[in-house]
Amino acid sequence: MNKKHRQHPLAIVIGVTKELKGYLLPLIIFFFLRSLGETSGSFFDRTFVLFLFVTIVFSLVFGFLRWFFFRFSYTSTAIEIYSGVFIKKHRTIKRTRIHTINLEANVVWQSMHLVALKIETPGNLDEAEVTISAVSKTLALDMKNTLGNDHKEDQASPDEQHAMHLNTKTLLTAGATSGSVGIIFAVVFALIAQLMMFIPSQVIEFVSRFFTQTDLVILLSLFVVGIFLSWSISIVRYTLQYAYFALRDTTDSLEIKRGLFVRRHLTIKKRRIQAVLIIEGLLRQPFKYATIQLVVAGGASESSQNVVIHPLIKRTHIDDFVNHYLSDYEIIQAFKPSPKSARKRYLIRSGFIGALPFSFMVIRVEFLYVALPIFALSLWLGYMRHRDAGYAVTDKAFALRFRRVARTHVHIPKQRIQSYHYQANPMQRLKQLRTLSASVMAAPSSIDFHVKDLALDDALLVHRWLSKQHN
């Protein structure tokens, strides 16, 4: 099949839109200067309108030419890309160099049966090697089957019926317990604080008459409203991101489909999986829920980073899930914890950060009521970090457990460990403690996992274990 194909004409609009984004900053500067009265006069206005007209026409013409000269063809052994308006380029990518072929489609493209196709290779670290912005879904699936997977894929494939799906209740629970609630809350709280500037003073004074501690009431109201909005946004975001989630296991790969407005189709080769991460957020751990992610080697996009293969799973179901989909991986349950002598170091590190709000008492003494809870929470987090820190080894696997905010388990097969080392600062050497670090291959180079303040004997034990010949 050597026929040369073109992208859908919608690609012209996509290219022109991206190019016009580069002119947003000059437009913003112009309108800002005009609002200050720095620029005025009909000559300047006519010049600007002419410049804007020429820019739009040039972008349209160049976008059309770039679409017209962009063509591609593919066979079972390679894909060829022809591009360039003035400088002609001809690239050939062999099938053996292709790591993944991923499909993506927003809600507009879905209605037109179009997708964006991204081909990833080991060579590109920042972006996909080839991105075809708009092609028919039928052609994209044929390219994916021809260049990527060895099995045929069909929308009505019987294997799709055996894929793992998530129900609505699971999606809502995942959104409500998502760790992104705190980040969203910070953004929402900042927006609400800015909107307070636009609320008429009469409204604020009217509300203040009913309360004696006006400042405290306003802060508490902002906090409650911010929490409610953050939770709502997190639930909606998670539901849209993982809607119609489906995980399908094939002989040599895992296929993930998810998303409502932006539909994504990821293919992960099992041989490229380097580690399994089990993440228990603060809101999920009490209910014994976790998220399972994979660290995948090579490529440049989402499929090369931490890929979620189960957004929300009961801890008691993790072993069965991993045994079914990742039979080569072992989930270790028993961990050797950090020694008690390291607890003080964990408390000091967290407490130091938590004590910073006390400095605001110089401005106002009432900040004490805010600083004390933050300091107490920081000490509690330090205690939890020490309690969860640990490691484990078996004949064929290595695992680390640590907590930043969420508790994370990292399970790495022995043959996947790229490097291992342990180090100590002067204070750690006094207490016979070490920081253990292990790295695995990923994109763009490697990912390091480390646990602080483990016993020296444990660091040496892992070193001897890794020094042994692989079975």
42 vs 229, more confident: 229
User: Which range, 171-185, 254-268, 333-347, has the best average confidence (pLDDT)?
Assistant: 333-347
Mean pLDDT lowest among 154-158, 325-329, 390-394, 448-452: 154-158
pLDDT average, residue stretch 16-28: 74
- State the pLDDT confidence band at 152, using cuts at 50, 70 and 90: very low
Q: Map out the domains of the chain as residue ranges.
A: 1-96, 169-241, 340-386
**Poorest-confidence range of 36-45, 151-160, 248-257, 331-340?**
151-160
CA distance linking residue 177 with residue 47, whole number of Å: 54
| End-to-end CA gap in the chain | 45
Q: Which whole number is the average pLDDT over 19-43?
A: 64
Per-residue buried b or exposed e for 283-315, using 16+ beta carbons within 10 Å of the residue's own CB: bbbeeebbbbbbbbbbbbbbbbbebbbbbbbee
pLDDT digits (tens, 9 = 90+) for 247-281: 988 888 888 988 888 888 888 888 888 999 999 98
Q: Is 243 helix (H, G, I), strand (E, B) or coil?
A: coil
pLDDT of residue 247: 92
> Comparing 239-243, 422-426, 452-456, which segment has the lowest mean pLDDT?
239-243
Residue listed under structure tokens 């274990």: 465
Q: What is the pTM of this model?
A: 0.75
pLDDT in tens, 124-134: 555 667 888 88
